[in-house]
Homo-oligomer: A and B are copies of this chain.
């Protein structure tokens, strides 16, 4: 068995996390206790919510203490199982810290189809994809004729949301920061168009592209993008409030939005928390399976290799410098 490394928290995080907040340590491969699995991790998922977890600001879940393991999901191969429902050789998604060989609770993992690309189980088929599916299909109920706008469109949630909307017959418009991200959104994800919000006057550009205005907006960033889009929204427009990433690391007062425009627009705003949809994961995987096969759903990934690269990769994610789903490759797909 290979050597084992783990990323642990070096110090309490007070502001936006940086690579120096983390430390890579060597550790022995652990032994599973009753009910646990020993997993050879193949990909580690890095997600924006981890930043808010570290600052004790994520839905009441306690921040990890210095020296302890980090939250976040990985996908891997089960080497030993002490849980009756999971067998050696199964592939699972679960939490075991950012490490090569970790212990997962057998009752808290999700078995995945290893004939599908493993990285996809953390991205388009993973929590970001499930989030996109829930917002687009369950809350906004997007269909033909919709003019769908999503921001952080080069990110995993946004990029998947726009592709789902387009596949369901909507016009998919993205908002992203910078030319490289917009190129990914248009060229790789195949949105109808993408607007660069680093360019002054971007709402005018979005207005041109949206014609009569968006009928659906999927918000991943925060009020700085929400409010300009809300002004363009058609009457009776639906707004999915999903992520508020720009506010997670902020010490400013909690973000606010005007109330009057909701009334005037007869808008419907819907809060989305992906946890509510865990029981319905297979619905999304089965909808996505043919799209992945024929290329209508693309999993854009931003991958680095090896545990030592994880802290820098996470800092890049926190700075919004990732292009696509942020991952760390920990080992080969097949052991």
Chain A, residues 272-292, CB within 8 Å of chain B (1/0): the string is 110010000000000000000
Question: Does A271 sit at the interface, judged by CB under 8 A?
Answer: yes
The answer on a CB contact under 8 Å between A263 and B247 is no
Contact indicator A262/B256 (Cβ below 8 Å): no
- Contact check: which of B222, B244, B267 meets A271 at CB < 8 Å? B267
How far in angstroms is the closest Cβ of chain B from A231?
Answer: 13
A179 vs B136: C-alpha distance in the bound complex, in angstroms? 46
Q: A266: CB under 8 A from chain B?
A: yes
With A256-B256, A257-B256, A257-B257 already in contact, the answer to whether A262 and B271 are too (CB < 8 A) is yes
- Contact yes or no, A255 B258, CB < 8 A: yes
Q: Which of B222, B223, B264, B269 is the one whose CB lies under 8 Å from A269?
A: B269
A200 interface contact, C-beta 8 A: no
A242 close to chain B: CB less than 8 A: yes
Contact for A241 among B223, B226, B259, CB less than 8 A: B259
**Residues of B close to A266: CB separation below 8 A:** 270-273, 276
Chain B residue contacts of A256, Cβ below 8 A: 256-259
Residues on B with C-beta less than 8 A from A270 are 266-269
A83 at the interface (CB under 8 A from B): no
- Whether A260 is near chain B, meaning CB under 8 Å from some CB there, is yes
Contact A263 B272 (CB under 8 A): yes
Choose one: B59, B264, B267, B276; the contact of A59 (CB below 8 Å): B264
A43 CB to closest chain B CB (Å) equals 27
A145 contacts the other chain (CB 8 A): no
Given A254-B260, A257-B256, A271–B276 Cβ distance below 8 Å?
A: no
Pick from B222, B226, B267, B271: contact of A265, CB under 8 Å: B271
A259 touching B223, Cβ below 8 Å: yes
Among A254, A258, A259, which residue has the most Cβ atoms of chain B within 10 A? A259
Q: 7 shortest A-B CB distances, which residue pairs?
A: A256-B256, A263-B271, A269-B269, A262-B271, A266-B271, A255-B259, A254-B258
Sampled A-B contacts (19; CB under 8 Å): A59-B264, A222-B259, A223-B259, A242-B263, A254-B258, A255-B259, A255-B260, A256-B256, A256-B259, A257-B257, A266-B272, A266-B273, A266-B276, A267-B270, A267-B271, A268-B268, A268-B270, A268-B271, A269-B270
